[in-house]
Amino acid sequence: SAGLIMSEGCAVSELGYGWRGAPALYTDEQQVGWKKVVDAVHAEGGKMFVQLWHMGRQSHPSFHPSNEVASCSSSCYDTGRTHDADGNATGFPTTREMTLEEIKQVVEDHRKCAERAKAAGFDGVEFHGAGGYLIDEFLQTSTNKRTDQYGGSVENRFRLLRELIEAVTTVYPAERIAVRLSPNGVYGGMGSEDNYETFTYVIKELSKLGLCYLATHDGFGFGRYDKCRVFTVFELKTLFKGRVMATCSYTRDQAEGVLHAGVADLVGFGRPFLVNPDLPARFRNNWPLAEPLAYEFFWNATKGLEGYHFPAYDPKKAETDKAKKADPVNP
């Protein structure tokens, strides 16, 4: 029932992986599994993009044969918590800086993942450039301490994202490629004093590439930092000459507000859709929403299918249940 379905972030390579139970798309087996999902979506007339994801410094060394994590620069998300490959709660490691050869491989890994996505039938791809993951780390000065062509100036910090998009346009046309950013987000230990200037440049450059859309995490659902001026959806829309998707903890009324104001062209819903598979119908008919899913279901792989099976709203059953509550003696 969604206009466009976006997968959860999918690791593009073994080195880009690092969360227990997270999906990926870099092996034949994974490709076959995703094709079943995409075929089911297409059978119902839907469209689906895959989100290309490299976890950067939010990976854990226990997932890698080298027992180390390489990211933009040597750094540590020291206030964050994660789980190792055995499911044990732990902190994040101090990473080492990627070599130029490894960056080249990251670009190639994204291209190969896009090829697998196309073979699996995905209608397009979205780069996960938000949340303090690898792309975000390269963009922001708080995490990018490089002194080569990928660090320093905003042009250099944007270089990786530009190269990733250029590589994937050899697989999908630009109008089937999207980017997600979080200019205001604190998730992943992010936030830089010059973010307003950084993302102004980044958005203007992305505007030249003919992308399908640009998505933004407003930052208010997961919190925002106070190091610089807030980057609003309105400002993003004035800079990006294409479709803008607003995301992160929107209610129906908030979504309708930004759409009617022309501030955004689309609004993305994630967590509400998991427990309300008929979310558009519930919005349209003023039906009640199901109780939100506990946060644990989003990271705990042992929960399995328990967190993904929720019924559509049945108005007749709701009326019957209401009548039973009103007259429990004579239902």
Which pLDDT does position 83 carry in this prediction? 87
- Cα separations in angstroms, 229 against 117, 193, 197: 37, 9, 10
pLDDT at 193 (0 to 100): 78
The first and second tokens of residue 62, run together, are 């226990």
Do residues 245 and 214 touch, judged by C-beta distance below 8 A?
yes
pLDDT at position 76 is 87
The catalytic residue positions are 133
How crowded is the C-beta side of 198, counted as CA atoms within 13 Å?
A: 28
* Predicted confidence (pLDDT) at residue 78 exceeds the cutoff of 60: yes
Average pLDDT, rounded, for the chain = 90
Helix, strand, coil percentages in the chain from 3-state DSSP, rounded to 5: 40, 15, 45
The position carrying tokens 């099976």 is 309
Cα dihedral: 294, 300, 305, 310 (round 10):
10
Query: Between these two residues, 203 and 184, which has the higher pLDDT value?
Result: 203
| Model pLDDT for residues 238-285, shown as the tens digit of each residue | 999 999 999 988 899 999 999 999 999 999 998 899 899 999 999 999
- What is the structure's pLDDT at 74? 94
The answer to whether 190 and 58 have CB atoms below 8 angstroms apart is no
State which H helix or E strand residue 289 sits in: none
Per-residue model confidence (pLDDT) at position 327: 64
User: 295 or 219: whose pLDDT is higher?
Assistant: 295
How many whole angstroms separate alpha carbon 181 and alpha carbon 130?
Answer: 4
Yes or no: say if 191 and 182 are a contact pair by the CB < 8 Å rule. no
Which CATH number applies to 5-269: 3.40.1010.10, 3.30.565.10, 3.20.20.70, 3.90.550.10? 3.20.20.70
For residue 326, pLDDT over 80 is answered with: no
Q: Put residue 113 in one of left, alpha, beta given phi > 0 → left and psi -120 to 50 → alpha.
A: alpha
pLDDT-derived band at 322 (thresholds 50, 70, 90) equals confident
pTM of the entire predicted model:
0.92
Q: What tokens were used for 157?
A: 């910090």
Sequence spans of domains, the chain = 5-269
